[in-house]
Amino acid sequence: MSVLALADQSPTITPSELISGLVPPPRFDAARFSTYRPSPNEPSQQVALDTLSRYAEQIADPPKRGLFRKAAPMAGGYYLDGGFGVGKTHLLASLWHAVPGPRAYGTFVEYTHLVGALGFAETVKQLSGHRLLAVDEFELDDPGDTMVMTRLLSELSDAGVKLVATSNTLPDKLGEGRFAAEDFRREIHALASRFDTLRVDGPDYRHAGLAPAPAPSSDDEVRSAAAAAGQASSASLDDFESLTTALSRLHPSKYGRLLDGVPATFVTGVRPLDDQSAALRWVVLIDRLYDRTIPVKASGVPLDELFTPEMLKGGYRKKYKRATSRLLALAREAG
């Protein structure tokens, strides 16, 4: 086997692969309602589990109309609101697994990438026959993405597609503290009416009862660990600056393909990110690493300092905090 540099790779992905790839990530292949463990101290978790279980049954076997009256309409969709690591993605993936196809599962960003690849009309055509559209990590990066997703979800809902989304902010609060907040709010209010909100409360399970994240390794330790891992499989080893530059040249829709077949990744020279565009690209990469359960071993600053204090106070702070939570979990898995 060998050690490869992610920065040297140039993966490709076709539009048809984007559609067929709208499934839960490998980390949640086995997620089912039966494997979700609601905390007895957080009753909202049990409520969410029961509600989505019933909803899956309704989607699979919708109420029939009687001879003289219409059946009661089903909810257009549900919005799972809660903090990081409370099991929202587990519930969303469980719903997807419980509903017969066709159905689609992706993050907010993945759907905007799909529209960019296929065009809006073709995306609506491809997805309008689905029973369910699951949208994980509903986040707003710019007004253009907001308007595209608002229109896409509205048209799919009108076509009878059921919608379920997760986020860390209530629908009418998304976009606060960001540029053009009034434009965001106007769009979001129209979309929020499509959902019934389900709260999912609780602490971040990824860090409950765990020791602090591992201290950074030295550059030599990271390189030695990568070489050892490369003897058994194709691990990746990158310099942080080189990888950051390479990500700027690669469309985020390809980050998942970039990591296909990589069992572990090693990065030297991590430093705090003070450029927002670079930071947002790293968020996408971290999400794809987490999806695939790829452990991360790094040197440089502690990984909970990847995003600067200024970033963690800004409009994208929820996105950066979620990425930090996931990155620390991957660092623990690396040992």
- 181 and 38, same structural domain? yes
- 280 and 238, same structural domain? yes
Q: What is the DSSP letter of 70?
A: P
- 330 and 215, same structural domain? yes
Q: What is the DSSP letter of 31?
A: -
Select from 158, 181, 199 the last residue of a domain.
199
Beta-carbon contacts of 66 under 8 Å, excluding residues fewer than 6 positions away, are: none
Write out the chain's pLDDT in tens, 335 residues: 578 999 999 898 887 888 888 999 888 999 999 999 998 999 999 999 999 999 999 999 876 655 544 544 454 789 988 876 788 999 999 999 999 989 999 988 889 888 988 899 999 999 999 999 999 988 765 677 878 888 999 999 999 999 999 886 666 666 655 545 666 567 677 777 888 888 888 866 655 545 566 788 999 999 999 999 877 678 999 999 999 999 999 988 889 899 988 999 999 999 999 899 999 999 999 999 998 999 999 999 999 999 999 998 887 887 888 888 889 989 988 87
Give me 212's structure tokens.
């602090």
> Does any domain span residue 22?
no
> Does any domain span residue 26?
no
- 177 and 137, same structural domain? yes
- 191 and 75, same structural domain? yes
> Does any domain span residue 235?
yes
Select from 179, 199, 219 the last residue of a domain.
199
Q: What is the dihedral sign for C-alpha 117, 247, 13, 163?
A: negative
Q: What is the pLDDT of residue 240?
A: 97
Output the DSSP codes for 102-118.
SEEEEEHHHHHHHHHHH
> Does any domain span residue 23?
no
CA–centroid distance for 21 within its chain: 14
Residue with tokens 């003070």: 274
- 215 and 77, same structural domain? no
∠333-202-291 over CA atoms, to 5°? 35
- 296 and 186, same structural domain? no
Q: What is the dihedral sign for C-alpha 40, 43, 45, 47?
A: positive
Number of neighbouring beta carbons within 10 Å of residue 199: 16
- 220 and 78, same structural domain? no
Strand 265-270 and strand 235-239: pairing? parallel
Q: Are 142 and 169 a contacting pair, CB within 8 Å?
A: no
Which CATH number belongs to the domain containing residue 104 in this structure?
Answer: 3.40.50.300
Q: Is 23 helix (H, G, I), strand (E, B) or coil?
A: coil
Q: How many domains does the chain have?
A: 2
Give me 101's structure tokens.
């196809």
> Does any domain span residue 60?
yes
Beta-carbon contacts of 143 under 8 Å, excluding residues fewer than 6 positions away, are: 180, 183, 184, 187
- 155 and 38, same structural domain? yes
Select from 177, 199, 221 the last residue of a domain.
199
CA–centroid distance for 178 within its chain: 20
Mean pLDDT, the chain, whole residue set: 85
> Does any domain span residue 323?
yes
Q: Quote the domain boundaries for residue 289.
A: 3-12+206-334
- 188 and 215, same structural domain? no
- 255 and 151, same structural domain? no
- 257 and 194, same structural domain? no
What is the distance between the alpha carbons of residues 176 and 195, in angstroms, rounded to a whole number?
19
Q: What is the pLDDT of residue 71?
A: 47
The torsion angles phi and psi of 290, rounded to 5 degrees, stand at: -65, -40
What is the distance between the alpha carbons of residues 275 and 278, in angstroms, rounded to a whole number?
5
